[in-house]
Amino acid sequence: MKKHEHHQISEVFKTSEIYETKTSETSTFHVGPIPIYGDIILAPMDGYSDWPFRSLCRELGSAMSYTEFVRDADVLNRPHYVESKLTYTEDERPIVYQIYGSNAEEILAAALRLREHEPDIIDINMGCPKNSITNRGAGAGLMRSPREVARIFEMLTRALDIPITGKIRLGWEDRQNYVEIAQIIEENGGALVAVHARTKEQGYKGEANWDAIAEVVQAVSIPVIGNGDVQTVADVRAMKNHTRCEGVMIGRGARGNPWIFSHLDRDEVPLPKVEKTMLTHLSRSLEFYGPERGLVLFRKFAARYLSPYGLPADLRKKILTREEPGEFRELLAVTIQGIERG
């Protein structure tokens, strides 16, 4: 555990016997000098890519660990506010800190502060479509300022000794400049670009344009990670075949199926493994956040773990509103037994 962390993470959670990470002996690609083993990666998701969930996905085979994004101003002025988002364990490496902002000097100052936490990579968020962020010129809003993108990457790659990467969208409906931005990233020292193949206006709706990912692959020589509309193992293969990207990033498709990083579709995961995973995830959440908040924050994951089983609405509500971890565990055990009996 990192010395700067204040969240105490038990040694029992450093490794887990119920998981087997599937990685090849030969690296799949490199981010700068850093070898990446595997080609499926958990996407950074605000409110979801916290340590409890991210660590499970890493053990299951996610090839890199992206933290939830943090705002440059918060890193500099409210470090306590982002502390939990920056917590990681050594076995998660390579660890990627994702930052957002709109000004090169401010992002650089924050990146230098983040470097003190010893991440492997720092990623610039240019993909978040939320108006509260884009209206400040950050997230996908930064794609409207190619010159500032160039300044950010030029300044960070000069000042830091670790790879700097970027996650982008296609741009905006009136200016889909994804190829231009990807080339700017590469020309200014960026080591990788991840492409969510939707525009800002699409948000998370509509169909992802995999052809656009393929265009970026053809336009740059740095690794390209594809993102968008990947829900199954077959989708992973299809995206790689269609785009020739080095890796595939999965966000929403992993929230109810972290086993996809072990190349398993949800219907291939036996019920006992689902139960063990839920209990492990719950234990990590309780230890990380504390008994009360840990259970509350786990509920959204529990709902997704249980969604395939078509539980009656009253039973589902009863499980997801338990206020004591012990009560939740007891009711989960009874529910699992009921599912097994059919």
The one catalytic residue in 128, 213, 230, 278 is 128
Q: Catalytic residue at 57?
A: no
**Are the beta carbons of 164 and 190 closer than 8 angstroms?**
yes
**Are the beta carbons of 328 and 301 closer than 8 angstroms?**
no
Closest Cα partner for 148 from 106, 88, 99? 106
**Are the beta carbons of 223 and 29 closer than 8 angstroms?**
yes
CA 220 to chain centre: 23
Q: Token pair for residue 63?
A: 């090839």
Q: Token pair for residue 306?
A: 């249980």
Residue 27 vs residues 31, 54, 80, 127, 216: alpha-carbon distances, Å: 11, 21, 36, 27, 22
Nearest-angstrom CA–CA distance, 315 and 170: 42
Nearest-angstrom CA–CA distance, 121 and 29: 15
Residue 309 CB neighbour total at 10 angstroms: 14
Buried/exposed 98-137: b ≥16 CB within 10 Å, e otherwise = bbbbbbbebbbbbbeebbebebbbbbbbbbbbeeebbebb
Q: Which residues are catalytic?
A: 128
